[in-house]
Amino acid sequence: MEEKDKKIIEGEVVEETSTQNREEKIENKSYTKNSNRSFFASKFFLCICTFLIGAGIMYALIKISKNDVIVQNVSHQNIKTTTVEEISDLKTAINNVYESTVYIEVSGSRGSLSSGSGFVYKKENDISYILTNYHVIENGTKFVVTLTDGTILDAELVNGDEYYDIAVLKVKSDKIKKVATLGDSSNLELGDTVFTVGAPLGKEYMGTITKGIISGINRMVTVKLTSGSYLMEVIQTDASINSGNSGGPICNIKGEVIGITSSKLVGSGVEGMGFAIPINSVISIIENIESGKQIERPYLGVQLVDLTNTFALQYYYGISIGSDVEFGAVLSYIEKGKAADKAGLIIGDVIVEIDGEKVDDVSHFKYSLYKHSIGDKIKVKYYRNNKINETTIELTEAIKSE
């Protein structure tokens, strides 16, 4: 019994121990499971923290790097950047000339003829003088001037010159508030800022300002006149010039007049190309015009045809020119006893040079000739019978006014 009981007791003990072990194992498994969960959670949290810290460090490094690049770029720009300032405020310059500009209406025996712009350039005692284009006042008998403040004045034509395309009007001075200052067109350079004042398209838009630059200097353009074509030396600008601007001033950034605008020099369909007569060319003859004297231009007693007008030369005048001549003005008529005849020129001679200046065509011939005065002697080179010849012509006679 004792041994049996002991076994039983031991069995119970064993069973109890086994049960207890199972419970401990279950608890251990539960604990291990919980421990694993905690372990993984802590690992996950650590990873998140590490990621966030790493991201923060990377952001800081990138920002510092960018800031460093920006600083370097700014420093680099500060070293090499040059500041260029454009004089864009023309208010003072405009005020210097604005009140001197006028709108001109021209009438004839049959009513209104034309209109344009002009400007007061001189005040002498009780008379003020206005410059404008000749083609604005051409054939007119009555002239009315409107000032920028709306004042209307009757004007009188002093004189004009068709070739220079300038004319002078005069009005009483009591209503004139300002006189324009004439500048020096010989000082102009490409890219200089300029502006115009005028009345594009008529009275409704009088006092209009347009701005641009000097696009070309010493441009040569051909102008159609009632007496034929003529070559003019002009200033080119991209400032807008329209019908009605003719005769108005084009000014530098000081408000000094450096030219007279002319819409007659602008072809139809052309944009961004305006032209003006240099003020120095005007000044050279203004005294003669003011005094009412006719501008004297040399008369040679000839008629000329462009070398390129082969149809007229061959079929109308019966003149044949060798193919080796590429430019010049051909003599189609010579008046007996006049300057050209006395110098030995004959019909069919091709004028190619005057005083060392190349002559391209008839317009160029007139331009070169009209630079000279009565009494001057000029050297002329001409082509005849496949040979270049030279003669001297004495300018003894002026073109007679009609």
Q: Express each pLDDT in 22-55 by its tens digit.
A: 444 444 544 444 555 555 555 555 666 666 666 6
Task: Tell me what pLDDT residue 230 has.
Answer: 79
Task: Tell me what pLDDT residue 232 has.
Answer: 86
Q: How confident is the model at residue 313 (pLDDT cuts 50, 70, 90)?
A: very high
Catalytic residue numbers read 135, 165, 246
Task: Tell me what pLDDT residue 395 has.
Answer: 95
Task: Tell me what pLDDT residue 267 has.
Answer: 55
| C-alpha–C-alpha distance, residues 75 and 237, integer Å | 40
Q: Express each pLDDT in 216-225 by its tens digit.
A: 998 888 877 7
* Statement: residue 5 has pLDDT above 50: no
Within a 10 A sphere around the Cβ of 58, how many other Cβ atoms? 10
Task: Tell me what pLDDT residue 241 has.
Answer: 86
Q: How confident is the model at residue 166 (pLDDT cuts 50, 70, 90)?
A: very high
φ/ψ (deg, to 5) at 297: -125, 140
φ/ψ (deg, to 5) at 60: -65, -45
Beta-bridged to residue 101, according to DSSP, are 119
pLDDT, greater one: 12 or 296: 296
Task: Tell me what pLDDT residue 40 has.
Answer: 53
Q: How confident is the model at residue 262 (pLDDT cuts 50, 70, 90)?
A: confident
Among the ranges given (20-34, 117-131, 316-330), the one the predictor scored with the smallest mean pLDDT: 20-34
* Statement: residue 169 has pLDDT above 50: yes
Task: Tell me what pLDDT residue 193 has.
Answer: 95
Per DSSP, the residues of 89-139 read --HHHHHHHGGGEEEEEEEETTEEEEEEEEEEEEEETTEEEEEE-HHHHTT
Task: Tell me what pLDDT residue 211 has.
Answer: 94
* Statement: residue 337 has pLDDT above 90: yes
Short-list 230, 353, 246, 244, CA closest to 295? 230
* Statement: residue 1 has pLDDT above 90: no
Q: Which residues of 214-228 are buried (b: 16+ CB within 10 A; e: fewer)?
A: bbebeeebebebeee
Task: Tell me what pLDDT residue 142 has.
Answer: 96
Task: Tell me what pLDDT residue 128 has.
Answer: 96
Average pLDDT over residues 356-384: 93
Q: Express each pLDDT in 54-83 by its tens digit.
A: 666 665 555 544 444 434 444 444 544 544
Within a 10 A sphere around the Cβ of 312, how many other Cβ atoms? 14
Average pLDDT over residues 348-367: 94
Is the alpha carbon torsion for 76, 79, 80, 81 positive or negative?
positive
Average pLDDT over residues 379-396: 95
Task: Tell me what pLDDT residue 301 has.
Answer: 95
Q: What is the DSSP letter of 185?
A: G
Question: Tokens representing 93?
Answer: 């310059």
Cα separations (Å) of 85 from 9, 88, 189? 113, 9, 18
pLDDT, greater one: 71 or 207: 207
Q: What share of the chain has pLDDT > 90, as a percent?
A: 57
| C-alpha–C-alpha distance, residues 281 and 41, integer Å | 97
Task: Tell me what pLDDT residue 68 has.
Answer: 46
Q: What share of the chain has pLDDT > 70, as a percent?
A: 75
| C-alpha–C-alpha distance, residues 16 and 23, integer Å | 10
Task: Tell me what pLDDT residue 401 has.
Answer: 59
Among the ranges given (91-95, 292-296, 368-372), the one the predictor scored with the smallest mean pLDDT: 292-296
Q: How confident is the model at residue 271 (pLDDT cuts 50, 70, 90)?
A: low
